[in-house]
C-alpha cells in the first residue's frame, strides 16, 4: 500500500482569499502563572458536552499557543511555510480557523489571522449566517459559547504531495489536539463535533459574498473546504 510522497513536479497554486472587513485585534497575550504542568494537561483533557462561556482573553491565549506560528519561511517551491504547536506535512498548514462569536444579540463569523493575531469579520449576509446558526442550535444548543470551525485549503498540501487527503486529516487531528490542550491549560473545557449544520454552511459559502467552495468540481478544485470540527468552551 503506497502512502503520501512528494510529487515529481510540485505545482503552484493561488490560495483562497477571504473577503471581509472590521479586523479585531485580539487581546495581548501576557505571560501568566503556570496553571498546571504538561502531564496534568494531558491527563485531565476531556471532551465535555457542557456549554458555557469563553472570554476574549482566554480565546486569544488559546489561539496564540495552539495556532499562531512561531517561525515562518519559504520552502524550495516558493510556498510560505510555518512552524507552530501543531505539526503539518511540509509545514504547509492548510487549516484556517473560523470563529463564531456572539456580540450583543447577534453572532458573526470571523477568520482567525494568525500572523497578526487578529480576527477578520467575513463578508456573509446576516440572513445566511442566521440560518446557519439556527441549524447549529437544533443540533447543539450553544448559548453564549464561542464556536470554532476548521476550514481546509487542500491545495496547500495537494500541490506538493500525492495521496494528500491522508496528510490533511492528520493535520486536522494534530491541530484539534493542540487546541484542546491549550484550552485545558487555560481552564476551558472543549468538545470536538464533526459536520454540524453542513447543508446551511454550504449555502452560506456558495452564494454571493462567499467564503469558499465546500466541494470539488472540475473547475474549482483549488478551493476545497470542509467543516472538520467545532469546539466550544466552558469555564
Q: Over the stretch 207-227, which tens digit does the pLDDT of each residue have?
A: 433 333 333 332 333 333 333
Q: Does residue 45 surpass a pLDDT of 70?
A: yes
List domains and CATH numbers for the chain. Answer: 35-231 (3.40.109.10)
Q: What are phi and psi of 104, to 5 degrees?
A: 55, -115
Reported as half-sphere exposure (CB side, CA atoms, 13 A), residue 116 has a value of 9
Beta bridge partners of 193: 230
pLDDT at position 147 is 84
Residue 212 CB neighbour total at 10 angstroms: 22
- 3-state class of 218 per DSSP? coil
pLDDT at position 171 is 92
pLDDT at position 228 is 39
As separate numbers, helices (DSSP H) first and strands (DSSP E) second, the chain gives 6, 8
Better-scored residue on pLDDT, 67 or 184:
67
pLDDT at position 19 is 82
- Bin 99: left if φ > 0, else alpha if -120 < ψ < 50, else beta: beta
Question: Is the alpha carbon torsion for 39, 171, 83, 123 positive or negative?
Answer: negative
**Is there a contact between 136 and 147 (Cβ–Cβ < 8 Å)?**
yes
- In sequence order, the 6+-apart residues with CB closer than 8 A to the CB of 124 are 109, 204, 209, 210, 211
Better-scored residue on pLDDT, 94 or 2:
94
Of 35-44, 118-127, 178-187, 193-202, which range is least confident?
Answer: 193-202
Q: How far apart are the first and last CA of the chain?
A: 45
For the stretch 116-148, pLDDT in tens is: 999 999 888 888 888 888 887 777 777 778 888
195 band by pLDDT with thresholds 50, 70 and 90: low
CA distance 194 to 145: 17
What value does the mean pLDDT take over residues 110-116?
Answer: 94
Q: Which three cell numbers stand for residue 146?
A: 464561542
CA distance 170 to 3: 13
Mean pLDDT of the chain: 79
pLDDT at position 30 is 81
Q: Does residue 27 surpass a pLDDT of 90?
A: yes
* Whole-number Cα distances in Å, 128 to 107, 132, 137: 12, 6, 14
**CA nearest 17: which of 214, 232, 210?**
210
Amino acid at each position: 500500500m503506497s502512502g503520501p510522497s512528494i510529487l515529481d513536479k510540485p505545482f503552484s497554486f493561488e490560495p483562497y482569499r477571504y473577503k471581509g472587513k472590521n479586523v479585531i485585534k485580539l487581546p495581548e497575550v501576557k505571560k501568566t502563572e503556570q496553571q498546571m504542568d504538561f502531564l496534568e494537561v494531558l491527563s485531565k483533557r476531556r471532551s465535555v458536552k457542557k456549554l458555557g462561556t469563553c472570554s476574549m482573553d482566554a480565546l486569544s491565549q488559546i489561539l496564540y499557543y495552539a495556532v499562531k506560528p512561531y517561525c515562518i519561511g519559504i520552502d524550495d517551491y516558493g510556498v510560505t511555510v510555518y512552524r507552530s504547536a501543531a505539526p503539518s506535512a511540509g509545514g504547509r498548514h492548510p487549516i484556517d480557523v473560523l470563529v463564531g462569536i456572539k456580540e450583543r444579540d447577534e453572532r458573526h463569523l470571523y477568520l482567525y489571522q494568525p500572523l497578526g493575531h487578529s480576527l477578520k469579520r467575513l463578508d456573509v449576509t446576516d440572513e445566511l449566517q442566521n440560518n446557519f446558526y439556527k441549524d447549529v442550535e437544533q443540533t447543539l444548543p450553544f448559548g453564549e459559547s464561542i464556536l470554532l470551525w476548521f476550514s481546509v485549503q487542500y491545495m496547500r498540501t495537494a500541490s506538493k504531495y500525492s495521496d494528500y487527503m491522508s496528510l490533511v486529516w492528520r493535520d486536522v487531528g494534530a491541530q484539534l489536539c493542540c487546541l484542546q490542550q491549550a484550552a485545558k491549560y487555560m481552564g476551558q473545557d472543549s468538545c470536538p463535533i464533526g459536520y454540524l449544520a453542513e447543508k446551511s454552511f454550504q449555502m452560506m459559502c456558495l452564494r454571493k459574498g462567499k467564503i469558499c467552495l465546500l466541494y470539488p468540481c472540475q473547475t474549482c478544485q483549488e478551493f476545497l473546504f470542509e467543516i472538520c470540527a467545532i469546539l466550544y468552551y466552558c469555564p
